[in-house]
Amino acid sequence: MKEVERTQYLEELDRWKDSPDIVKVILGVRRAGKSVVMDQHMRRMIEAGTDPKDILFMDFESSDHDDIKDHGDLNTYIAERIPRNRRTYIFLDEVQRVEGWERTVNSLMVDYDADIYITGSNAYLLSSELSTYLSGRYVEIKVFPFSFAEFLEGHPALPDADRNFRFQQYLRTGGIPLTDPDRGDRYNRMILEGIYNTVLVKDTATRMGIRDLSGLDRIARFLMDNSGNTTNVDNIAKATGLAKKTVEKYIRSLAEAFLFYKVERYDVVGKKLLNSHEKYYPVDTGMARAVLDRGISDTSRPLENIVFLELMRRGYRVRVGSFRDREVDFTAEKDGKVEYYQVCLTMLDDSTFDREVRSMKAIDDNYPKTVLSLDSVVRDMPDGLIHRNVIEWLLG
């Protein structure tokens, strides 16, 4: 597979380059490509004229740094390698493995002219002492698995295959960069199962002190199996045989490891959040399929999952729209503007068309309302509603 330039994230890092008062925190699920984004940013800097001697990179998953146990060791290592009289660019990959690393980051901002970038595979990175030490002096950059556009860049359509074929592969394989749709299900399943197990052990169980790995696995599998379905702690506790407090703790740890995203329900009429029956979406459709070890007979749920992740990539705040006895798949808000999205396999069936249109028309405001489907031909829509092919939308 050709290397895919993660342009979206690189452009964001470029905007924050040479801002020594702001730490750039690159977050995302394990193997989403955070280290590659960091490496690509460093290469772009060098191509633009930065002296490689002014860049210090440390990968804390490498055995090269096994002797660095805490912030004291890290302070000593860095002090021996960077000057005080000129700008230095410091890249710390998976820095949460070093005890007290927050103190090092804080002291670098105080004692040196340092432009700092860090990566982590857990949102706990930001809820730890980092926020105390930095008091808002950081920007969070979320890295997701490949979008469909990036997937196509890495795996161009073959001479005998079109984009629809590649999209079916994307539904099955997902967007984790290590996977390869042309190497078959067994190859990809082994990679994705390995990543899943590593996330469970390293990014959840070990950090949270969870001993019951089987219970954690049951929760994760339940959420994957019910992707896009409304649920709550009571239902999950009943289905898995675990106590409610345990379920809450496990779900929180899985979300902090970016394995799932919790989506709240929003009362479109009352303009308020609803406190029950939220939805959960896996970070990758291919991983969910591999972990559940089944085919892709139901395309609608992974399709909805892919649209959700794309809205998140595009910087929207995403919720499930709820009103009266109806529901809109996604209410997406950005920069004070709202958009509504319904996702379905086809709008060619009249009953589906009537259902989706009825749900959208019931929302009495002037914000854009779009129905996304796999149909190659879009239908005319009433009252300003929009029907779009989901592949075209993903690539738009």
What are the pLDDT digits (tens) for 173-191? 999 999 999 999 999 999 9
Band of pLDDT at residue 131, cut at 50, 70 and 90: low
Mean pLDDT of 352-366: 86
**Tokens coding 203:** 């990014």
Tell me the angle at which helices 233-240 and 244-256 cross, rounded to the nearest 10 degrees.
100
Question: Out of 107-121, 122-136, 150-164, which region has the weakest mean confidence (pLDDT)?
Answer: 122-136
Predicted pLDDT of residue 208: 85
Predicted pLDDT of residue 269: 59
Band of pLDDT at residue 115, cut at 50, 70 and 90: very high
Residue 158 scores a pLDDT above 90:
no
Cβ contact 130:95 at 8 Å: no
Predicted pLDDT of residue 359: 83
Predicted pLDDT of residue 270: 56
User: Where in the sequence of the chain do the CATH 3.40.50.300 domains occur?
Assistant: 7-142
Which helix (H) or strand (E) segment holds residue 50: the answer is none
Q: Which residues contact 29 (CB under 8 A, 6 or more apart)?
A: 121, 145, 199, 257, 258, 259, 283, 284
Across the chain, mean pLDDT equals 91
Cβ contact 309:330 at 8 Å: no
pLDDT winner (highest mean) among 44-48, 109-113, 126-130, 295-299: 44-48
Band of pLDDT at residue 327, cut at 50, 70 and 90: confident
Predicted pLDDT of residue 296: 59
Mean pLDDT of 189-213: 93
CA distance 392 to 370: 13
Q: Which of the two residues, 297 and 45, has the higher pLDDT score?
A: 45
Residue 331 scores a pLDDT above 90:
yes
Q: Report percent pLDDT > 70 for the chain.
A: 95
Secondary-structure class of domain 7-142 per CATH: alpha beta
Say if residue 162 is exposed, middle or buried (CB neighbours under 10 Å; 0-12, 13-18, 19+).
exposed
Distance (Å) of CA 66 to CA 59, 70, 77, 165, 207 = 10, 11, 12, 45, 18
How does DSSP assign 163-200, residue by residue?
Answer: HHHHHHHHHHH-S-TT--GGGHHHHHHHHHHHHHHHII
Q: Which residue has the tokens 């930065």?
A: 50
